[in-house]
Amino acid sequence: MRNVACTIAGSKSPAVRINRRRSTQLGTMMLPAVGLLTGCMLFTRPPADIDYARTRSSASGVYHATIHPDGDSIPQGRLQRWTLHLETADGTPVDRARIEVGGGMPQHGHGLPTRPRVTRPLGAGNHLVEGLKFNMGGWWVVTFRVESAAGTDSLVFNVKL
């Protein structure tokens, strides 16, 4: 299992595919993959074509979202609060939503070192995300699985430290 999982993560493409296809399938596959790959530290450089944009559309296009970390650069090893701004595809702010936060390091095969959560809605489509931490340098992904009246969909943000 570990070898297979390592091969998948080492194929240089899964997270890139997430970004390109923006498919629900990848949004949902990535999290278990990150979870299952514990033990496969693949110390390759991140693929060159990773999109680190802070505004993204969800995998099936239901949502449009922007992350607002505290500053321009994301610090290593410190707990952080982010604001997630969430809209439907037509630009309507989404305030009432169930949001699950996840992520990890695709090339290392491990998840986040903490259990971040959306702790409260801030209004106008903004949601406070607390408990994020990145304990290593390199390429991370942060995912949001969003359920609201508009539908269920996943967002994947690439983060570089």
* 120 near another protein, judged by CB under 8 A: no
Scanning residues 54 to 93, which ones bind another protein (CB under 8 A)? 76-77, 79
Provide the mask over 16-35, with x wherever binding to another protein is found by CB under 8 A and - wherever it is not.
-------------------x
What is the pairing mode between strands 126-132 and 110-111?
Answer: unpaired
Query: Which of 84, 91, 136, 96 shows the shortest CA–CA distance to 113?
Result: 136
Q: Smallest gap, in angstroms, from Cβ of residue 114 to another protein?
A: 5
Query: Which of 8, 160, 154, 132 shows the shortest CA–CA distance to 73?
Result: 160
* 2 near another protein, judged by CB under 8 A: yes
Q: Cα dist. 132→3, 41, 101, 119 in Å?
A: 29, 21, 9, 12
Alpha carbons 155 and 57: distance in angstroms, whole number: 7
Alpha carbons 159 and 161: distance in angstroms, whole number: 7
From the list 17-25, 84-92, 107-115, 150-158, the region that binds another protein by CB under 8 A is 107-115
The size of the interface with another protein (CB under 8 A), counted in residues, is 29
- Number of other residues whose CB lies within 10 A of the CB of residue 109: 23
* 151 near another protein, judged by CB under 8 A: no
Which one among 12, 17, 54, 133 touches another protein, defined by CB under 8 A? 133
From the list 23-31, 85-93, 130-138, 142-150, the region that binds another protein by CB under 8 A is 130-138
Binding site for another protein (CB under 8 A): 2, 6, 35, 38-43, 76-77, 79, 108-117, 130-131, 133, 135-138
